[in-house]
Amino acid sequence: MTKLQNFSKGIIKENPVLVLVLGTCPTLATSTSVESALGMGIAATVVLLCSNIVISLLRKIIPDKVRIPCYIVLIAGFVTMVQMLVKAFAPALDQSLGIYLPLIVVNCIILGRAEMFANKNGVFDSALDALGMGAGFTLTLCLMGTLREVFGSGTFLGMPIPVLSDNKISILTMAPGGFFIFGLLIAAVNKFGKHKPKKSDFGCEGCPSAEICGKAECGKEGA
Amino acid sequence: MTKLIIILLSAVFINNYVLSRFLGICPFLGVSKKLDSATGMSIAVIFVMLMSTAVTYPIQMYVLNPNGLGYLQTIVFILVIAALVQLVEIVLKRYIPSLHKSLGVYLPLITTNCAVLGVTILNIDEGYTFLEAMVNSLGSGLGFFLAMVMFSGVRSKLEGADIPKSFKGLPITLIAASITSLSFMGFGGVIENMFA
């Protein structure tokens, strides 16, 4: 796989949200407006980039048996740094992201990329992978944020849009609208996506806890 | 007492973790296909939420805050939860094997469940007392249970439905979740006015 593919696969072919279906919680929760979607995307990308680089550097030092706890500690450390930076320089963003900022720790995308890519590949490739996945995550969040903000509140980045601001569908900015738009987007990807994802790349099996979860149910579904 | 009841009821119905706060979506979509696994997972979540609140709340109040280490919250909480889940699993395996058999598979999964970390952080952010924090955790767990059980019912109806090809699988599940969440919006404002 070339360097360029390492970067670009995260944006469309292996889009973490729409194709791998990871990190659904922050996607649904922070896509109520473009601004918070963008903020969440960038914060998660920074954490993903740092964690992928460090985990890739340490991949020969961390013993295999305790790798997951090690990754979690590293990721939590980076999340704390990002949290402090956002609090200091973008307090408004901190307000709008609220609880979801510390919850980047348990975002499956980050642990998933550490487990699936960074612990097997070199530093440069891992950084490219992180940037690509982060870009895919951010773009998807922004797409959902745009749809929900334009049709739900009739604004774009806070600026009112002439006709739509008088005919807004407020339910789209609330919880049911989030599920609905996300469902429609995935259906659209299923319909128009040229690259059919391999089964092993899909859903549960891409998740870092798939092994344990498989015992429960996902494995049986094969989804 | 009234405040405790309000906290409990609003955690279950209004601020439902899955359907209005979007926490714990992965198990909600992944394990809700059958009623018994949905129930097992939810009971494990209630249990872990209560345990981890009981441990993390005193840590934040009596260890981190007095020493000015509040910024270590995220990293300490996730480690405490992960260690606690492991410990619970070992204890259950040794002393109550029957319970371990039914809940065991769900326990490790909960470590990386954002609902558990979410509830412990929210308890601190909301400035609850210890008792209020425990009641909020119980309510959040019960809300999760309610959403899971309701949704597994919805999904069993979906099985036989004739769905357009591109909507099969996840998309239709999300649309169904959207409608389930719509039904929960009906509770908005009810609890506050009940005691007013």
Kindly list the domain boundaries of chain B, sorted by start residue. Answer: 13-188
Residue A200 has pLDDT above 50, yes or no: no
Check CB contact under 8 Å for B181 and A176.
Answer: yes
Task: Please indicate, yes or no, if residue A2 is contained in any of the structural domains.
Answer: no
pLDDT at A98: 84
Helix B35-58 and helix B130-158: axis angle, to 10°? Answer: 160
pLDDT band for position A210 (cuts 50, 70, 90): low
Is pLDDT at A121 greater than 50 in this prediction? yes
Q: What is the pLDDT of residue B131?
A: 92
Predicted local distance difference test score (pLDDT) of residue A213: 47
On the question of pLDDT at A222 being above 50, the answer is no
The answer to whether B102 faces chain A, any CB pair under 8 Å, is no
For residue A124, tell me if it sits in a domain.
yes
pLDDT at B133: 93
Q: What is the mean pLDDT of residues B118-122?
A: 90
What is the count of residue pairs from A and B with beta carbons less than 8 Å apart? Answer: 148
Going by pLDDT thresholds of 50, 70 and 90, the confidence category of residue A212 is: very low
Instruction: State mean pLDDT over A39-61.
Output: 92
Distance CA A65, CA B4 (A): 43
In angstroms, rounded to a whole number, what is the distance separating the alpha carbons of residues A75 and A107?
10
Q: Which residue has the higher pLDDT, A175 or B31?
A: A175
Q: Do B173 and A183 touch (CB under 8 A)?
A: yes
Report if residue A158 sits inside a domain: yes
**B63-119: pLDDT as tens digits:** 888 888 888 888 899 888 888 888 888 888 888 887 777 776 777 767 767 888 889
Does the residue A1 lie in any domain? no
Task: Find chain A residues with C-beta within 8 A of B111's C-beta.
Answer: 209
Residue A59 lies inside a defined structural domain of this protein? yes
- Cα distance between residue B11 and residue B83, in whole Å: 26
- Structural domains counted in chain A: 1
Tell me whether residues B26 and A25 touch, CB distance under 8 A.
Answer: yes
State ipTM: 0.84
- Given phi > 0 = left and psi -120 to 50 = alpha, else beta, which region is A90? beta
Min Cα distance B29 → chain A (Å) is 10
- pLDDT at position A214: 43
Which residues are registered as beta bridge partners of A155?
A160
Average pLDDT over residues A31-60: 91
Q: Note the pLDDT of residue A171.
A: 85
Tokens of A17: 């949200």
Among B109, B113, B121, which residue's Cα sits nearest to residue B56?
A: B121
A29 touches chain B (CB under 8 A): yes
pLDDT above 80 for A138: yes
Span A147-171, average pLDDT: 82
**Do the domain assignments include residue A35?**
yes
Q: The tokens of A13 are what?
A: 């072919």
Q: Residue A202 sits in which domain range?
A: 7-221
Confidence check: pLDDT of A206 > 80: no
Using 50, 70 and 90 to split pLDDT, how confident is the model at A194? Answer: low
User: What CA–CA distance (Å, rounded) separates B161 from B172?
Assistant: 10
Handedness of CA B128, B54, B30, B150 (dihedral sign): negative
Give the rounded percent of residues in chain B with a pLDDT score beyond 90: 15
Look over chain A and give the mean of its residue pLDDT values, rounded to a whole number.
81
Enumerate residues 132 to 151 of chain A having a beta carbon within 8 A of any beta carbon in chain B.
none
| Helices assigned H by DSSP within chain A | 3-8, 24-30, 34-57, 67-89, 91-97, 108-113, 123-152, 175-192, 210-216, 218-221
Q: Is the pLDDT of residue A183 over 70?
A: yes
Distance between CA atoms of A200 and A205, rounded to whole angstroms? 6
Domain contains A41: yes
For the cut 60, the answer to whether the pLDDT of residue A221 exceeds it is no
Q: DSSP assignment, residue A115? A: I
What is the distance in angstroms between the Cα of B82 and the nearest Cα belonging to chain A? 8
